[in-house]
Amino acid sequence: MKTPIYDMLIKGGLVIDPALGFGQEAAIFVKDGKIAAIVKESDVSPKDMASIPVENVVDASGKLVVPGLIDMHVHLREPGREDEETIITGCQAAAAGGFTSICCMPNTNPTIDHQETVKFVLSRAEQADAHVYVVGAITKMLKGEELAEIGDLVNAGAVAISDDGNYVQNPEIMRRALEYARMFGIPIISHAEDYFLCANGVMNESYQSTRLGMKGRPGVAEEIAVLRDIKLCGFTGGRLHIAHITTAGAVKAVRQAKADGIDITAEACPHHFTLTDEEIGKEFNTNLRVNPPIRTQKDVEAVIEGLIDGTIDCIASDHAPHADEEKDVEFDQAPSGMIGLETTLGLVKIALIDKGYLSWADAVRKMTYNPARILGLPAGTLEVGTAADITVIDPEKKWTVKKENFRSKSKNSPFIGWKLSGKIDITILGGRIVYRNK
Amino acid sequence: MQLRSRHLLGLEDATAEEITLILDTAETFREIIERPIKKVPTLRGITVLNLFYEPSTRTRISFELAEKRLSADTVSFTPGTSSVKKGESLRDTVQNIEAMKIDMVVVRHSSSGVPYFLTQCTQSNIINAGDGAHEHPTQALLDMFTIRRKYKKLKDLRVVLVGDIKHSRVVRSNIWGLKTMGASVAVCGPSTLLPFEVEKFGVDIFTDLDKAIDGADVVNIMRIQLERQQAGLFPSQREYTNLFGMTRERLQLLNKNYTIMHPGPINRGVEITNEVADGDSSVILEQVTNGQAVRMAVLFLLSGKKEEE
Ligand SMILES: [Zn+2]
Ligand SMILES: [Zn+2]
């Protein structure tokens, strides 16, 4: 028998793989960019290690070893706003956040509504520090009027479609999209917020908007949009994924739809389970302006409840980079969005895991196996034979979010100065170390 | 006694002592503006910038006169309504002007929070002359000053704010200031113009004007913007006037020594009839005069200058 020769070994860590139902100390061998073996620590022989270069032996003692994290909702800004983020810098930020796979939304310029843009993004991502999967547009130019060439988008590599940033306001178009996308087995990701109810609104409509005299975006706008899409999904037999869910009513609607057997999934963003709209009046920090807006304590609790009971399948960042000069303006003039790739894990740790709402295994599932399953990605597990996308987490490491440490090209985070816990130690993409915490 | 902050951003956090200090100080200046020579050297050497992003003739003139009567040097700058759209940013504008050595900035802007924003990017003392639908503290102070002059108190008076409660910065500052001073406050307007969870302000809420003003001492009438009708917030001016217009008949419902107020400009015949606006109990012009005294007091107190004389 030939002695196997491995390229890399991650040893001593607690391996958590929700797909394999695995949660124990183990050593992982990597060969040719793939997971070659997972063995008990005691079974690691010096012979197995002999061929591995020292820098590729990762001592993960006291750390968690999980499948490379997946962020299914990211804005990369390329093409069009390369000053805010490029595919390369976005993937560097992803690596620093422990993500080995990210899905980019189509609201670029030009929009990703035809196969050339999909191919452009994929070609730019070839050498990047993360796998990039493309979400194509539902409608041309995200205008909500005519379906994009969805078949072409899928052929070029799109894994889902979304008009993110916009709600497909016309129910007839949404109905056709759900029906049409069914042919390709891809989900439609809905940015669910009724346009008319939100027009010109800059923050959640609440006592806080009343206090500050700002135009509100009512929670009912999201609830109505989600309910309509659920009805259309049930009617067409399509697949629906609700992006960045934020309100108690919407969480309840998704919970009921799941109970009714509708093919629906949902994601929540860290800022929607860690922040409330009370923050806005403190400093009018424009990084708190997001779409959908941060809501009330009651909504935060409902989102957490939805994460606990499985109504909400995934945690995604909705990483939305914006240049400093665009955010350094009056609150109601600032564009919506905050970056999130590099703070997601730490926020999940302090807001969900430390408070006992989710176990590490639950949290990892929502950031690996579940998004991979929803989008059909060849990722999210440490199964032998799959790509060696691995994230090593230092679970109790305390750290402070600092502007100068962001790898993202934009720094628009309201979490700067926050003390988090749970730090990415090493991120491995296809057997290559793409991030190492210093 | 002095103010805790070197800025006047709003009344939400102002204490009763601070409001009293401003109103007491305003009494002194009220007396000065009745003199033949209405000028004192109090703010000599101080330069005030009046930064009005939103047109507001009366508030701007009131501040300018207050500054001149205190012998401050003043500059006025009206950058136009749309501040950032393809133009110089607010931060650049202010930092440029400050580079010319300004001491105080009086700012009016259509975005809530701009006065706060200025405190973060300049060294000047900032006075909020109205930000978005958020606060308009000097208007509320002059309203309180006017009421206090007449009744010699604010505590336990019943004040009703009528009209567009949702979009009014005057309303917010009035509610916070009056409640801090122990007055009882009610708001009244069409339910589409009452903001979400307005009850959390700790005020009584009415959509029936007759009930709202029953037994009230002061009715402060807010201007109705006609574009609200186009936005579908009420069906017509006619219906608005029938339901919420302050008419002579309705005056019977008020307490005997009642007061009618309006921050202006008035839509005569819409939110208030001529008879009521010009009646004996209307203090609308008195408010304008008092506005100067109050603004002089605020400028003086924030400048950190000692009273000379
Ligand atoms: Zn969205
Ligand atoms: Zn998004």
B227 touches A: beta carbon within 8 Å: no
Q: Which residue of A has its CA nearest to B199?
A: A207
Between chains, do A214 and B12 touch, taking CB under 8 Å as contact? Answer: no
A172 touches B: beta carbon within 8 Å: no
Query: For a pLDDT cut of 90, what percent of chain B falls above it?
Result: 83
DSSP A378: S
Please, are residues B6 and B125 in contact by the beta-carbon 8 Å criterion?
yes
pLDDT reading at B83 higher than 70: no
pLDDT category, A334, cuts 50, 70, 90? very high
Between chains, do B112 and A206 touch, taking CB under 8 Å as contact? Answer: no
A206 touches B: beta carbon within 8 Å: yes
- For A171-217, what is each residue's pLDDT tens digit? 999 999 999 999 999 999 999 999 999 999 999 999 999 999 999 99
Between chains, do B132 and A216 touch, taking CB under 8 Å as contact? Answer: no
A216 touches B: beta carbon within 8 Å: yes
Q: Which of B111, B166, B167 sits opposite A330 (nearest CB)?
A: B111
Q: Which of B90, B133, B200 sits opposite A213 (nearest CB)?
A: B133
Residue of B111, B120, B168, B203 to mutate, interface with A, max A Cβ within 10 Å: B111
pLDDT confidence of residue A5: 84
pLDDT category, B56, cuts 50, 70, 90? confident
pLDDT confidence of residue B309: 43
- Of A168, A332, A363, the C-alpha closest to B114 is A332
DSSP A353: I
- For B129-170, what is each residue's pLDDT tens digit? 999 999 999 999 999 999 999 999 999 999 999 999 999 999
* Calpha distance A46→B188 (Å, rounded): 82
pLDDT confidence of residue B85: 53
Mean residue pLDDT across chain B = 93
* Calpha distance A11→A29 (Å, rounded): 9
What are the residue numbers of the active site of A? 318
Mean residue pLDDT across chain A = 96
ipTM of the predicted assembly exceeds 0.90: yes
- For B106-135, what is each residue's pLDDT tens digit? 999 999 999 999 999 889 999 999 999 999
CA of B198 to the centre of ligand 1 (A): 29
CA of A76 to the centre of ligand 1 (A): 13
pLDDT reading at A41 higher than 90: no
- For A76-95, what is each residue's pLDDT tens digit? 999 999 999 999 999 999 99
- For B227-266, what is each residue's pLDDT tens digit? 888 888 999 999 999 999 999 999 999 999 999 999 999 9
pTM strictly above 0.90: yes
Helices (H), A133-241: 150-156, 171-182, 195-198, 207-212, 219-236
DSSP letters, A294-314, are P--HHHHHHHHHHHHHTSS-E
* Closest CA of chain A from B259, distance in Å: 27
* Calpha distance A333→A382 (Å, rounded): 45
* Calpha distance B157→B197 (Å, rounded): 24
Between chains, do B197 and A213 touch, taking CB under 8 Å as contact? Answer: no
Residues of A in contact with B84 (CB under 8 A): 329-330, 333
pLDDT reading at A1 higher than 50: no
